[in-house]
């Protein structure tokens, strides 16, 4: 892994953000709207519920963490799509740039952009709606690591899908977090789900995060095994997504799709 | 001269590009059919042929964005299939169909690709190329608003960023006015002479080919039909000039010219 080519991918993202404020807006606009919406919902539920649940932490914390995961995925995919939109594949892949360097650059770009989103979310949720992560303690770092890892895996997988199926498949990518959220049990315990949905949830690292978050907030101990499973799942899903990306890339080189990418198919 | 393979004498060990038995098909369509040739250091080789002859397929395989069905490609002493990154580090290209990102400025594009090619003293190199291609006034202009001639100059500047040992130019002067095209030809010729850079040049402008290329290969249906000096080939084959020879070769069925010209 060489630093300069990875830095090139990051530099390109910086140039694009600096040159077009419109690109910066989605980093915090949608997450800001989510925080405001769920902040008021949580405030309302706190005022009418006698269950003793702190909805601000349960709902707003969950929204914040789930949005973060989605921002990581979308940050990575958007950085990849910049090359699709500007028809830059030939210039990039006919250069000494290695696939590992390209993907690492995309991952770092997405981490950087999602951190901006996270800052905005925390800046809104903590002072305005009284969200406190103190109750989560050191577990928060573990939860963030798992969600970042899963977001990266989703982003690489989504980029591979666009590379495999052409620019028009972009529309398949954006709804992925929404499609997965029911399985990840963001707002409810896993036990609510039917058995087949729980089966899927068990291979999705965020389900362990949100289950763990509720466990910690209930004052119960969060066992180390689910945490290890979540980390291991996130790491293996990143590896799997990377493997799929490389396979798709090699296929595109073999069939000629990469050189004629805008045609979407070589047949 | 053979019809299927062309190797300049004495260049075997030091070829900037060596292609052997290159074959590529897209489904049932055979795009390149067992092509072999070399580009010596400092040589400008013209790759000529009608549309669909296989020129771009050859360039794409050399650039490793297309895997050949069989055959080998070596850039210097590096095998492209096994040492892709190292081989491409000493290569660069400019093509009309590979424009640089329009949402970056001229200087940003050169900085971006300069990092990818790990160019030493990048800032100095970028300034040098901005001057060489008269792009100083456009340094902060986004490439998407440049004229096609200006874009070509930026693409050529990018192609020279890493001081390549092999340069692939697919119709590099297609969008340039005659004066700019002449300057570009002179710049590429000077580059080939002074840096020992081998150049593979495709063009449909036969005047340009005669002026620039040391040798040419005529391709048709993925095969090399003819090879030689562009200034003497027409006379040797009874054509008044290179353009007429091109038209004759492009119009004749595949088997006949191969038999007649071999």
pLDDT of res. B10: 44
Is position B96 within any domain?
Answer: no
Task: Say yes or no for a CB contact (<8 Å) between B99 and A256.
Answer: no
DSSP assignment, residue B99? P
Q: Which residues of chain A have a CB within 8 Å of the CB of B66?
A: 253, 256, 258-259
In tens, the pLDDT along A22-50 reads 888 877 788 888 888 888 888 888 888 77
| Nearest 10 degrees: Cα torsion B109, B196, B149, B136 | 50
Shared domain for B156 and B179, answered yes or no, is no
Question: Taking a C-beta distance cutoff of 8 angstroms, is the pair A158, A72 a contact?
Answer: no
Residues B13 and B70 both lie in one domain: yes
Q: How far apart are the first and last CA of chain A?
A: 35
CB contact B12 to A (< 8 Å):
no
How many Å apart are CA A157 and CA A234, to the nearest integer?
A: 13
For an interface test with A, the pick among B114, B115, B167 (most A C-beta atoms closer than 10 Å) comes out as B115
Encoded tokens for A44:
């309302």
Q: Do B125 and B115 form a contact (C-beta atoms < 8 A)?
A: no
Taking CB atoms and an 8 Å cutoff, what residues of chain A touch B86?
96
Q: Could you give the CA distance from residue A221 to residue A134 in angstroms, rounded to a whole number?
A: 15
- Specify whether B236 is located in the same domain as B151: no
Asked whether residue B17 is domain-assigned, the answer is yes
Contacts of residue B98, defined as CB under 8 A and 6 or more positions apart, other chains included, come to A90, A91, A94, B155
Same domain, B40 and B25: yes
pLDDT tens track for A65-78: 998 899 999 999 99
Strand segments (E) across B43-146: 44-48, 70-75, 78-79, 91-95
One domain, residues B60 and B11 = yes
When the pLDDT of each residue in chain A is averaged and rounded to a whole number, the result is 88
What count of CB pairs under 8 Å joins A to B?
A: 93
- Domain annotation covers residue B69: yes
Residues B148 and B169 in one domain: no
Q: Which domain holds residue B118?
A: 102-163
Neighbours of A28 (CB within 10 A): 20
ipTM (interface predicted TM)? 0.86
Same domain assignment for residues B24 and B80: yes
Residues B17 and B41 in one domain: yes
Q: Please count the structural domains in chain B.
A: 2
Whole-model pTM above 0.90? no
Rounded to an integer, what distance in angstroms lies between the CA atom of residue B215 and that of residue A78? 45
pLDDT of residue A260: 74
E strand or H helix that includes residue B151? helix B148-160
B95 domain residue, yes or no? no
Per-residue pLDDT tens over the stretch A126-150: 888 877 777 777 888 899 999 999 9
CA distance B242 to A267: 35
Taking CA atoms, A83 is separated from A13, A91, B99, in Å, by: 11, 10, 12
pLDDT, block means (10 residues), chain B with 262 residues:
43 79 91 94 93 91 95 95 95 90 96 96 96 93 91 93 95 83 87 90 90 93 91 88 86 52 40
B132 with B255, same domain: the answer is no
Distance CA B90, CA B94 (A): 14
Q: Please answer yes or no on whether A4 and B118 come within 8 Å at the CB atom.
A: yes
**Shortest Cα distance from A87 to chain B (angstroms)?**
7
* Confidence (pLDDT) at B178: 87
B67 and B194 housed in the same domain: yes
Statement to judge: residues B144 and B218 lie in one domain:
no
Burial class of residue A99, CB neighbours in 10 A (0-12, 13-18, 19+): middle
Q: Are residues B186 and B85 in the same domain?
A: yes
């Amino acid at each position: 892994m060489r630093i300069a080519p990875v830095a090139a991918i990051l530099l390109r993202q910086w140039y694009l953000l600096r040159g077009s404020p419109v690109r910066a807006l989605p980093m915090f606009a949608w997450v800001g709207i989510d925080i405001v919406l769920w902040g008021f919902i949580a405030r309302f539920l706190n005022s009418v519920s006698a269950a003793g649940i702190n909805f601000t932490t349960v709902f707003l914390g969950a929204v914040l963490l789930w949005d973060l995961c989605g921002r990581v995925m979308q940050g990575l995919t958007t950085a990849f799509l910049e090359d699709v939109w500007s028809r830059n594949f030939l210039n990039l892949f006919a250069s000494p740039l290695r696939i590992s360097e390209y993907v690492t650059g995309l991952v770092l770009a997405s981490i950087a952009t999602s951190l901006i989103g996270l800052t905005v979310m925390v800046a809104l949720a903590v002072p305005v709606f009284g969200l406190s992560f103190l109750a989560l303690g050191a577990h928060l770092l573990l939860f963030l690591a798992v969600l970042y890892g899963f977001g990266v895996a989703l982003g690489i997988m989504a980029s591979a899908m666009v590379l495999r199926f052409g620019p028009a498949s972009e529309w398949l990518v954006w709804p992925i977090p929404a499609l997965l959220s029911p399985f990840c049990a963001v707002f409810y315990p896993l036990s609510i789900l039917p058995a087949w949905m729980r089966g899927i949830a068990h291979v999705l690292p965020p389900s362990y995060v949100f289950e763990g978050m509720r466990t910690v907030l209930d004052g119960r101990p969060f066992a180390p095994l689910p945490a290890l499973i979540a980390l291991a799942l996130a790491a293996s899903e990143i590896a799997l997504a990377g493997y799929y990306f490389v396979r798709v890339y090699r296929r595109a080189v073999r069939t000629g799709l990469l050189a004629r990418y805008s045609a979407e198919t070589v047949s | 001269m053979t019809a299927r393979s062309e190797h300049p004498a004495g260049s075997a060990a030091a070829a900037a590009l060596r292609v052997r038995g290159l074959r590529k098909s897209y489904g049932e369509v055979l795009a390149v059919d067992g092509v072999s040739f070399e580009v010596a250091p400092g040589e400008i080789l013209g790759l000529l042929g009608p549309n669909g002859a296989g020129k771009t397929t050859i360039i794409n395989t050399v650039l490793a964005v297309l895997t050949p069905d069989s055959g080998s490609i070596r850039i210097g002493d590096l095998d492209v299939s096994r040492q892709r990154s190292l081989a491409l580090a000493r290569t660069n290209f400019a093509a009309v169909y590979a424009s640089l990102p329009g949402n970056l400025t001229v200087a940003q594009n050169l900085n971006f690709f300069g990092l990818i090619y790990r160019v030493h003293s990048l800032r100095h190199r970028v300034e040098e190329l901005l001057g060489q291609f008269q792009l100083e006034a456009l340094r902060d202009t986004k490439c998407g608003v440049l004229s096609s001639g200006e874009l070509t100059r930026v693409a050529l500047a990018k192609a020279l960023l890493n001081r390549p040992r092999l340069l692939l130019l697919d119709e590099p002067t297609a969008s340039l006015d005659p004066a700019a095209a002449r300057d570009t030809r002179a710049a590429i010729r000077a580059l080939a002479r002074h840096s020992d850079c081998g150049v593979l040049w495709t063009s449909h402008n036969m005047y340009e080919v005669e002026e620039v290329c040391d040798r040419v290969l005529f391709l048709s249906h993925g095969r090399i039909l003819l090879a030689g000096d562009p200034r003497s080939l027409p006379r040797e084959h009874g054509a008044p000039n290179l353009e007429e020879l091109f038209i004759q070769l492009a119009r004749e069925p595949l088997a006949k010219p191969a038999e007649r010209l071999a």
